[in-house]
Amino acid sequence: MMLRIVALLICFVSPLLQAAPVIAQRPIDLDTGSGVLHGSLLLPMADKPVPVVLMISGSGPTDRDGNNPQGGRNDSLRKLALLLANHGIASVRYDKRGVASGQPLAPDERTLSVEGYVADAQAWAQKLKADPHYGQLILLGHSEGALIAALAAPQAGADAVVSVAGSGRPLDQVIREQLKGRLPPDLEQRAGQLLDRLKAGQYDADVPAPLQVVFRPSVQPYLVSLLRQDPAAAFARLTVPALIIQGRNDIQVGVADAQALKAAQPKARLVLIDGMNHVLRIVPNDLKAQVASYNDRNLPLADELGRNLVAFIQSVH
**Residue 39 and residue 48 in contact, taking contact as beta carbons nearer than 8 Å:** no
How far CA 12 is from CA of 18, 140, 221, in Å, comes to 11, 37, 60
**Which phi and psi angles does 311 have, rounded to 5°?**
-60, -40
Domain 21-169+230-315 in this protein, CATH class:
alpha beta
Q: Return phi, psi of residue 109, to 5°.
A: -65, -10
The DSSP secondary-structure symbol of 109 reads: G
Phi/psi for 211 (5° steps) reads -100, 0
What is the DSSP-derived secondary structure letter of residue 72? B
Percentage of the chain beyond pLDDT 90 is 89
- Report the largest interatomic distance among the alpha carbons of the chain, rounded to a whole angstrom: 81
pLDDT band at 11 (very low <50, low <70, confident <90, very high): very low
Per-residue pLDDT tens digits for 83-97: 999 999 999 999 999
**What percent of the chain lies above the pLDDT cut of 70?**
94
Place 140 in a pLDDT band, splitting at 50, 70 and 90. very high
Q: How far apart, in whole angstroms, are the C-alpha atoms of residue 99 and residue 316?
A: 31
Strand ranges across the sheet with 269-273: 23-31, 36-44, 90-94, 50-56, 134-142, 160-164, 242-247, 269-273
Q: CA-based angle 91:94:98, to the nearest 5?
A: 165
pTM (two decimals): 0.91
pLDDT at 317: 86
pLDDT at position 70: 84
Judged against a pLDDT cut of 90, whether residue 71 lies above it is answered with no
Q: Compute the distance between CA of residue 274 and CA of residue 257 in angstroms, rounded to an integer.
A: 16
CA distance 189 to 229: 23
* Strand, coil or helix: 173: helix
Residue 16 has pLDDT above 80, yes or no: no
Give the domain ranges of the chain.
21-169+230-315, 171-228
Question: Each residue of 210-245: pLDDT tens digit?
Answer: 999 999 999 999 999 999 999 999 999 999 999 999
Please tell me the least confidently modeled range out of 6-15, 22-31, 122-131, 288-297: 6-15
Flag whether pLDDT at 198 surpasses 90. Answer: yes
One-letter amino acid identity for 239? Answer: T
| Burial environment of residue 189 by CB neighbours within 10 A (0 to 12, 13 to 18, 19 or more) | exposed
